[in-house]
Amino acid sequence: MLTVAVLISGTGSNLRALLEAARLPDFPARIVVVGADRDAEGLAHAEEFGIPSFTVPFRAYDDREAWGEELGRRLDGWSPDLIVLSGLMRLLPGSLVARYSPRIVNTHPAYLPEFPGAHGVRDALAAGVEQTGASVIVVDDGIDSGPILAQERIPVMPDDTEETLHERIKPVERRLLIDVVRRIATGELALTH
């Protein structure tokens, strides 16, 4: 059974989808802990599902490296096989990525390598593209530049706003993430640097 730690910053919609999938008897992974970089709404999902959680507030540390050291210490306590960044809106320090690589995956609301960074949906709309997408990648020391594990195209509608487009991307992200975690757990998908 693959053990998974999930890190969040916000509402945790991808986390909730993973928790629901992991509740199914035939799902080959279980979430052992949920962590956050602030008092995130999504921590309520962990509580509801009886999953332990922790918070390592980014602002409580002098720099990203010190924050990453504490985050790593907390994660080490659970020895996860896989770490899922599920809306964590912080770049992990390189030392933490190197320590767990390639066992960290992330979702992104664009068809990478198109539109990396924190504003993938806004950037796709600004570029006037006809389609964007959702991706699940291995986290490396770049910005959304790691190996792509799964992705799918999503059309951009003429009347799309950032919000409406993002709402159409989210269910695809969730489905891809659940499938990637399942395939990693069954050995169908190998993680590489």
Q: Which domains does the chain have, with CATH numbers?
A: 2-186 (3.40.50.170)
83, two tokens: 């770490």
Could you count the other beta carbons within 10 Å of the beta carbon of residue 9?
Answer: 18
Question: How many Å apart are CA 72 and CA 38, to the nearest integer?
Answer: 16
- Residue 134, strand partner residues: 152
Pick the catalytic residue from 108, 119, 166, 193: 108
87, two tokens: 């809306």
* Strands, sheet with 2-8, edge to edge from the N-terminal-most edge strand: 53-55, 29-36, 2-8, 82-85, 104-108, 131-138, 148-155
- Residue 5, strand partner residues: 33, 83
Q: Is 108 helix (H, G, I), strand (E, B) or coil?
A: strand
Give residue 193's pLDDT.
66
What lies within 8 Å, CB to CB, of 149 at 6+ separation is 105, 136, 137, 138, 180, 189, 191
Question: How many Å apart are CA 26 and CA 33, to the nearest integer?
Answer: 20
Question: How many Å apart are CA 46 and CA 167, to the nearest integer?
Answer: 22
Find the mean pLDDT for residues 177-181.
98
pLDDT digits (tens, 9 = 90+) for 59-87: 999 999 999 999 999 999 999 999 999 98
- Is position 166 annotated as part of the catalytic site? no
Question: How many Å apart are CA 12 and CA 41, to the nearest integer?
Answer: 7
pLDDT digits (tens, 9 = 90+) for 82-129: 999 998 989 999 999 999 999 999 999 999 999 999 999 999 999 999
